[in-house]
Amino acid sequence: MTANELQEAIWRVDGIRVVIFTDAVTPLPFGQAWSDAFPGDRTVAEYRQVRLQKLTDAGIGYAILDGALEAPSNKIVLQDLRASYKRKGAFG
């Protein structure tokens, strides 16, 4: 899976905008993305731990963006992060 494919899969499944800092065609340590959305009552920190740990383990950098195109606090719950995209009209 390439960086572009993973970024789009994360947006499609989890509704969270993640930017991966690597060449768009570099193979990543994901054979495929998950099929169920991560629960909205969990925090950004929990999301990083569960969903993005493989990137961290592989030394690949990434950023999670909110609707204002800023990095959200790790304490923010995902339902609030997702709502920020709608409030700001970000990412369609």
pLDDT tens digits, residue range 8-62?
Answer: 999 999 999 999 998 766 778 888 878 899 999 999 999 999 999 999 998 899 9
Identify the sign of the CA torsion 61, 70, 47, 19. Answer: negative
Q: What is the CA angle 89-91-92, rounded to 5?
A: 70
DSSP letter for 36, please: S
Pairwise pLDDT comparison (29 vs 6), residue with the higher score: 6
User: Is there a contact between 38 and 51 (Cβ–Cβ < 8 Å)?
Assistant: yes
pLDDT for 40 equals: 96
pLDDT of 86 > 70? The answer is: yes
- What span, in angstroms and rounded, lies between the C-alpha atoms of 33 and 10? 7
